Amino acid sequence: MTETNTQKPKNRAVLVGLWAYRLEREENATEESMEELSDLLKTAGGECVGTVLQQKDAPDPRTFIGEGKVAEVRELVRAMDADMVIFDNSLSPSQQRVLGEELKVQVLDRSALILDIFAQRARTREGRLQVELAQYKYLLPRLLGMWTHLERQEGAIGTRGPGETQLESDRRHIHRKIAKLESELKEVRRVRATQRERRIKNEVPVVAIVGYTNAGKSTLLNKLTGAAIPANNRLFDTLDTTTRTLEISDTCTVLLSDTVGFIRKLPHHLVEAFKATLEELSYADLLLHVIDASNPEWREQAEVVEKLIAELGAEQTPRIDVFNKCDKCPAEILPHGADIVSISAKTGQGLDELLEKIGGHLDTGACRVELSIPYDKGGLVDLLHREARVEQVDYGETIQVTAVCTPVQLGRLKDYVVSGWTPPKEFWEQ
């Protein structure tokens, strides 16, 4: 009996990009963005078998790259036995449809490729909901010309109007799906808001790690907290937010959150869909902007991240620029500044300085105190367990508690403090 190879064959794709004077700078394809597109394809499980980079004054309204270049791409597709063509630029639904007809293979743009990767990588229920919503919003304007019969969960009777076409029916179906997904994500946001209020009440600062994809965010979180997040050299290796506790000092504890990596030309509807996750940025007390210092394009990548941070309403949040992979860079070219630190998340170089800078921003003035609480005030012990960091409890004549408390908490407990803290004097006592 012979063994059969059941592994799914890789998609063979020709990559196409256009640089046009009439396009905005961020919309143009460049050699660097085409290389990134190839990496995205590899991440999705495909193989690049050819690349075409076109330069012209303006995009062709019908075929985007012009009839002559379409013919060239068609010949390349045939010669390389490719089964799809992927554009680095965004295509209109009509351009995508025309190109599919002309090239006789599946045609995607960068947005569709990123959505496919996200669909593969999302692990949590929230992540899957967000991806599905983005996919439906991408699909909706592209239904025309796509003979796709969407499976209906509803019964056929009463769901279709008289004389309704398949296209109209599919559109109605997608609109219902979008409304349902948005409702479910609204509930996710409500739960997140409740959790956030609890954190604020407990005075636990939140630090969010942001940065371009593959900048080393997960590696940094792993190194600082001992988390075991996969940190591979792949684009979008982490999609679902991971939060871990980090002790900056013996009296300062923060919550450290890893977020999905940003990338140039990130589909707008994907940003919208992921706001339930990314909105954490606007509520964070501090951002760590991780930058791959070894990448020649780190400035352009940092600019992409800055724009998306602003779009998410977090541009006013205090920030530390963390230049990662400094072990791969000459020391003389590394940036310096008050809120800038150079590190190697892989080797641990510079992490002590980073922790010091985080503490400088977020140390709440908490201190370790001894408290003596009467038994008839035993509810205060429960309060301490909820809102402070209790280290030891002994039951004697009174309840003896050792805990790390913030000044606000101590203000409520000042009558029971035995040592470790002196209440500030009122102005009339000074």
- Over residues 241-287, the pLDDT tens digits come to 678 888 887 777 888 888 777 888 877 777 776 665 676 677 788 99
Q: How confident is the model at residue 426 (pLDDT cuts 50, 70, 90)?
A: low
Range from 110-119, 191-200, 230-239 that averages highest in pLDDT:
110-119
Q: Do β-strands 399-405 and 252-258 pair in parallel, antiparallel, or remain unpaired?
A: unpaired
* Sheet strand arrangement including 389-395: 389-395, 399-405, 367-373, 417-419
Highest mean pLDDT among 120-129, 174-183, 220-229, 254-263: 174-183
Average pLDDT, the chain: 82
Q: Which of 171-185, 243-257, 316-330, 391-405 has the lowest mean pLDDT?
A: 243-257
d(CA 399, CA 374): 6
To the nearest 10 degrees (0 to 180), the angle between helices 125-139 and 110-121 is 160
91 vs 270, higher pLDDT: 91
What band does 332 get if pLDDT is binned at 50, 70 and 90?
Answer: low
374 pLDDT band, cuts 50/70/90, is very high
DSSP β-bridge partners for residue 337: 340
pLDDT class of 125 with cuts at 50, 70, 90? confident
Residues 403, 381: Cα–Cα separation, whole Å: 10
The one-letter amino acid at 312: L
Query: Largest Cα–Cα distance of the chain, in whole Å?
Result: 94
Global pTM value = 0.73
The span from the first CA to the last CA of the chain, in angstroms, equals: 93
Q: How far lies 139's CA from each of 89, 134, 242, in Å?
A: 17, 9, 29
Name the pLDDT band for 118 (thresholds 50, 70, 90).
confident
CA contacts within 13 A on the Cβ side of 115: 24
Contact 75, 42 (CB under 8 A): no
Residue 162 has pLDDT above 50, yes or no: no
Among candidate residues 251, 263, 267, 265, the one with its CA nearest the CA of residue 292: 263
170: nearest Cα among 159, 181, 162:
159
**What is the rounded radius of gyration, in angstroms, for the C-alpha atoms of the chain?**
27
